[in-house]
Structure 1
């Protein structure tokens, strides 16, 4: 639900620009109708990302202080406050609406950060990749369909509720989360760190069942915490950039940088534009844009099978390479300006691109950045990763229109050369830095990172009992 709200807010923010009553109440009248000033468009579209950066960054402190459930409770309260501010904003009080979106954006940054770290800590090893990949699924599956459906249903209303209703509907999900928190298990990792081992044991028994050796699981958590405490006396954000943790933080951030370098905002954000260039009517182009989302959902569901069968490194690297090739092809096809067949091909390749992206780079980014961080610094590393994700997304949303729009650089599909080149550099980086984390426990990953095992050897590396650093610590 936290991931859903993140995606819903970003989608509904852009969608409201097409609502006449929203432009009337927050814009100005001109010969062509009501217009929302460009500076306010940029502000409304980017302010949630700004709030998300600070929300993601603060998650580490909040979740370590109050627990994973406590962090979600705080998110819900802050989100409800931000939603109320937006709902009760009167016409032409643009600054108040901006504040509401900033406050809600702060909560959303914590939501999506907490979703990944919580899934990673409460999921059994075999389900860890599937649950963390589901974060991306909820962003891409439910968010666009919900936001588009709401705006389509209210967009033609002449009253202020044409845009107020999409705002207030968001409150359903924080209320559901608050109601469900008493039934949600706290992270056993956090409980052990707080010395509440018996509570952690009960949670592990609830999550794993009576047939699992819960005492062994509890002992592994304690041993891993002993190991990590040896290398960092205090858990601070500075620790994320020291020693081997610097490498882990860099990987957690770069998976999101590579998503943007692979042109996801360019291809998917302008897919409807490409369909219009191919000769489809506006309404049909919109329907095909919805089809792009549907194909992405299929790709994300496909990942549930491949993530444990083929591993994280293999899928991420090969789908990044495939996206690079597709971007370069789009660039070459855009060179002949009036070739209708080329325009059709570009439109078709946006469908192919989204399927490839959603089978690998998209969901695997959330899997990798949650798994490579140490348990001690997970919430902090995940928060930094979400900050970088928000920052990169905001930059691309600002830059892409200047590259594509006819009144600016007017590169159109030739932007594929720019993102194809960036993605090609990303392929090289990913080969040398993305490790294989499939079927690896937290203590095994800690040991391999501390022993500086090369990423391409993570899958085959044998971690023997006598090789575990935690044994050295105990001795």
Structure 2
């Protein structure tokens, strides 16, 4: 276990202006556990890691299933209000047509995101209290309750339907936060980018789902059935002092030298306890944790300012605004989602090949350029210009889902300290939900494709912020990231700085 350096050791270290000795002044392990464990993890390639740690990989996929419901909710939210039966049951007749009052439309559209904010915030405390499995189980129970309320809601009980959607939003926020934290904690370094990135992949799968209400019942039930067999996070167990259980979990997950990696977890926890003993939400915004939390939140803000809701959430609606027939708009909207699925699959490879920082930065640049292309195309009223807008939208889906989309979940789950991860991740999901509460509508300045100028301009600012503040977390163990942040290393130098213990 770690111990403090002696006074003479400190004087010797002070004379050497290197990152490893700056960190060593505060913390000295008795052996080279952290370095040896990091070297072992980094020596394994991506595909070899999937083979060796296949159980960890599969359990991460399983615990991310709840994210499908997030994608499904995003997909149906825009279409539900246009469904004749829903308008008949929860609206009123006006000039021979069933319509839903504007205030209820706004409430139905935004209440899920409000619930997601609450779920994201509360899950941090829940996960630290009853474990990652416990938080996923609670999310599943809440989800089943919410689906029951919505499914059996009597016609014209709009308030009850609203409550059901609010509760469902809470479950979705908990699902996303728990899956991201779980994937980050049970995966070795070589798989961490893939397992956390698959959260976004499940979301895209959910967006591909047909309007089939039973899908909302299936996944929470499957998750509850599988959770008793799911390994708990060894980080959570070690932090609770359940060392033997943590050792057994590491063995189940496929770690070769179980004792080595258990000591790695213990010493990293001790290191973080030395830096900061508290685990409150307020701690996420103090000292070095503030920088880490801001980065975790900004990846979702950046997703929004390049127009993800505009392009992916309402692509079919946008195609209609551009002048396409309803049938063609629907086909193009499906195409955006399908291409996004392909992009997301490629990102699971490139996240380890090219790294987090360059992939996110070039994704921001690409999405910004596409938005400006949509804006320029909207200046003309020709058929060719409309097709140009459609093609740009499809390209956006490919670029976004091949970079910014999955990378947001990777970066925000990696960037937080281990002891504050569940809370930082929860705050990130809260901000993600908050950013999603808006809609591009023709009666708001009637911008149509010209809204690309807005997102293009905001995206340009986002590119600048990304260049200066998004660090490279590829192949970095938890203790290395702690050391880099404690030493206040510039985000642009994260990938090149050596942490030599």
Per the TM superposition, whether the score is higher than 0.5 is yes
Offset, 1:287? 1.1
Match of 2:247 among 201, 207, 216: 201
1:389 corresponding residue in structure 2: 432
Query: Which of these residues, 313, 318, 323, is aligned with residue 357 of structure 2?
Result: 313
Match of 2:420 in 1: 377
What residue is the counterpart of 2:60 in the other structure?
Answer: none
Q: 2:487 aligns with which of 423, 437, 451?
A: 451
- In structure 2, relative to structure 1, the CA distance for the partners of 1:277 and 1:22 (3 Å cut) is closer
Instruction: Evaluate the alpha carbon distance shift between residue 335 and residue 20 of structure 1 in structure 2; reply closer, same or farther with a 3 A threshold.
Output: same
What CA distance in whole angstroms lies between the structure 2 residues aligned with 1:54 and 1:48? 10
- CA distance in 2: counterparts of 1:273 and 1:101, whole angstroms: 22
Displacement, 1:277? 5.7
Does the alignment pair 1:234 with 2:278?
yes
- Matching residue of 2:346: 302
Distance 2:103 2:187 in 1: 44
What corresponds to 2:191 in structure 1? 127
1:48-70 CA distance string (max 9 Å, x none)? 11111011001111000001111
Q: Secondary structure at the match of 1:29?
A: strand
TM-score, structure 1 normalization: 0.90
With over 3 angstroms needed to count, the CA separation of the structure-2 counterparts of 1:431 and 1:19, relative to structure 1, is same
Counting only pairs closer than 5 Å after superposition, residues 17-56 of structure 1 correspond to structure 2 as 17-56=81-120
The correspondence of residues 70-469 of structure 1 with structure 2, limited to 5 A, is 70-140=134-204, 142-146=205-209, 148-150=210-212, 166=213, 169-209=215-255, 212-276=256-320, 280-336=324-380, 338-394=381-437, 396-397=438-439, 400-401=440-441, 405=442, 407-465=443-501
Q: Distance in 2 between matches of 1:42 and 1:408?
A: 14
Q: Is the 8 A contact 1:10 1:45 kept in 2?
A: no
Instruction: Report deviation, 1:267.
Output: 2.3
- Per-residue deviation at 1:340? 2.4
Q: Distance in 1 between matches of 2:411 and 2:95?
A: 51
Partner Cα distance (1:413, 1:60) in 2 = 39
**What is the rounded CA distance, in whole Å, between the counterparts of 1:149 and 1:36 in structure 2?**
20
**Residues 69 and 186 of structure 1 are in contact (CA less than 8 Å); yes or no, is this contact kept in structure 2?**
yes
Moved more, 70-79 or 359-368: 70-79
| Contact 2:149/2:161, CA 8 A, preserved across alignment | yes
Does the 8 Å contact 1:271/1:347 carry over to 2?
A: no
Gaps of 5+ in 1: 151-165, 466-475
Supply the distance in 1 between the matched residues of 2:317 and 2:79 (Cα, whole angstroms). 15
The answer to which of 82-91 and 190-199 deviates more is 82-91
Gaps of 5+ in 2: 1-64
Q: In 2, distance between residues paired with 1:364 and 1:266?
A: 19
Give the Å deviation of 1:327. 1.0
Conservation of the 8 A alpha-carbon contact between 1:368 and 1:437: yes
Query: What is the deviation of 1:14?
Result: 2.6
Decide which structure has greater helix share: 1
Q: Alpha-carbon deviation of 1:72?
A: 1.1
TM-score, normalising length from structure 2? 0.85
Report the CA distance shift for 1:278/1:103 in structure 2 as closer, same or farther (over 3 A): closer
